[in-house]
A and B are shown apart, each in its own frame.
Chain A
Amino acid sequence: MASTEKQTDSTSPPELSPEAAELQYRDMIQKVARAIAGNRTEDVLPYLGKKYEAKHVEMFIDGNFDKRIDVLIRLMPFVSEDEDFPNFEELAVEFADSQPVAAYEGSSEECDAMLKWLEETQDLTPEQEDTISCQRARYEVERLARENRGAHVRFQELVTIAPTLMPQLDRGDDLTVHLNPITSWSCLKSQKFLDEGEQPPVSVLYYADEEEVRTAMFEPEGQMILERLANIQPCPFSTWRTISDDADAAQLREFVKGLVSLRLIAFS
């Protein structure tokens, strides 16, 4: 018994200090993780337990890769379901092969990276560029909502009573105006998402409406009035009206009615 133990000892590598052992561990995890992410089964094999075969590692790598592609397809619906990207899955595979996901990054960063990759590596038509900018604006709305969750929730509560307060504004009461805090502007360059008669470029506002991202298109004048409101809100209606001198009171009230029905502004 004792001799067996001794024999084991003599063939074991010398004991490492905890620091050295951790460095060795870090190095191994790095090699294995990168081999798995890079679809290199052979680089995992030196670290594989005795009971296991290359086919087990391969199955794991294939499963991981498939899940990555599924996530890209699911989380980029605007692009993956778009008729201008009929080969989205192939592109997703090419993208996933070309770059791994950086440590600590999640699906949203990966989707952003794929949009960037599409712009950098593909010869995009204006229609495809519009699809990408729509998807990106949607992510931007989600990012803003995540970062300003309190403001998003408060506005969504407020906006439900906006139609009932509208008559007070019509009677001349000076209500405080709140603009939806979760908005992002983008510009459409092609006819793809436009109705007949509309000419690109057109500014589109993406905004959060409860759990959805909605869009609204504006003439340059409307965009300007909204941007002014964004800079001073929440503010009394009268203040907004004063700085919107290019629209008369009746026009502005009509514009406001439209914004209320879009759930873009609220009152208190």
Chain B
Amino acid sequence: MMPAIGYAVRRENRFILSDPKLNAAEITFEHADLPLWTKSFISGDDIDYVAIHALKLSVGSPDPPGKAYLDALKAVAIENNATAISDHLGFTRDGEGGIEMGHFAPVPLTQPALDVVCRNLDFVQKYVDPFPFYIETIAYLFQLEGTMSEPEFLKKMFQRTGVGWLLDITNVYANGRNFGFDPKEFVEEVMPYAPRVQMHLAGGFFDEEQGLYFDTHSQPIPDDVWDLYEYSLKLGQGKVDAVFIERDAEFPGEEEWRRELHKMYDLAEGTSSGQATVNS
């Protein structure tokens, strides 16, 4: 099965929606939820697979996601004729009566966190039905003290909730490089448990001074990430629904936007027709 291929769409790359190799688009909810818009964010374009990508469900928070946010999310999904909805595995707030932190922090890899996450994912999936929901594993700068490994946590989460995995290839690459694990082994361990998969690809940079790779979505996708993408496609064959490139800054020229899209397409086509090989 060939996954749908596309970009996270923004003003700067809308032209690419007419590229013959693109049949998917991801819309960041906050970009599409424009109060004065009279038409949908994706309009008149023939897109097979539209995913709405949210930021604030905060499934790691002990209280459930806000209904107003979920209603708005669902409205945007309906308006844009979406296929699926996604958000991140993390927490952006503490709880009712509390505060927002802004960006999502990783949930601690513990049993109580797993219980809370699964409860919230069940709630979200029911709420956004019939849209299938995917949860993205994030890049982190730190983890809170845990009692299980990340793959262990994820496997249990997929088994309990049946949620889809938004596997951000660059996030796994960054975490592996920064904190010393093999990204391929990580994907190998988790992939069999994910019922369905979307993927993200992006480029960041390695900060020599900090000794850390930052997933900034501002650079070309590095070779190691392409390699991990191809490897993951092979492992997820038959259940990868869509793959998207994310680029949020330092926008390239049209040729470069197309080059990465075509590379993503060609690798997926090679994998689905059985040409790719897994080199672990």
Contact = CB atoms under 8 A, between A and B. Distances in A.
19 contacts: A25-B108, A25-B110, A25-B112, A29-B60, A29-B91, A30-B94, A36-B101, A37-B100, A37-B101, A52-B142, A57-B141, A57-B142, A63-B103, A63-B141, A102-B98, A102-B99, A103-B95, A104-B66, A105-B100
Contacts, number: 137
A172 interface: no
B38 A210 contact: yes
B142 A48 contact: yes
A26 interface: yes
A1 to B, nearest CB: 20
Interface of A: 18, 21-22, 24-26, 28-30, 32-34, 36-37, 47-52, 55-57, 59-60, 63-65, 67-68, 100-107, 141-143, 145-146, 152-153, 156-157, 182, 208, 210-213
Contacts of A106: 56, 69
Given A22-B62, A24-B112, A103-B98, A60 B105 contact: yes
Contacts of A101: 99-100, 102
Q: List the 4 shortest-distance A-B pairs measured between CB atoms, nearest first.
A: A25-B112, A33-B94, A52-B142, A142-B35
Tell me if A's interface is mostly helix, strand, loop or mixed.
Answer: helix
Given A47-B108, A57-B141, A59-B141, 5 more contacts: A26-B62, A102-B99, A103-B94, A103-B100, A211-B34
A89 to B, nearest CB: 17
Contacts of B97: 103
Contact of B143 (A24, A49, A63): A49
Contact of B91 (A33, A60, A182, A212): A33
Contacts of B112: 18, 21-22, 24-25
A226 B91 CA distance: 48
A174 to B, nearest CB: 28
B276 interface: no
Contacts of A26: 62, 94-95
Interface string B57-98: 000111100101100000000000000000000010111111
Interface size class of B (residues with CB under 8 A): 35 or more
Nearest to A53: B142
Contact of A51 (B101, B102, B179): B179
Nearest to B96: A103
A33 B115 CA distance: 19
B116 interface: yes
Contacts of A49: 142-146
A54 to B, nearest CB: 9
> Which of B61, B94, B102: most chain A Cβ within 10 A?
B102
A107 B38 CA distance: 21
A18 B227 CA distance: 42
B62 to A, nearest CB: 4
Nearest to A25: B112
B209 to A, nearest CB: 11
B62 A29 contact: yes
Contact of A33 (B93, B96, B110): B93
Nearest to A54: B142
A210 B35 CA distance: 10
Given A25-B116, A51-B143, A64 B103 contact: yes
Contacts of A210: 36, 38
Contacts of B115: 18, 21-22
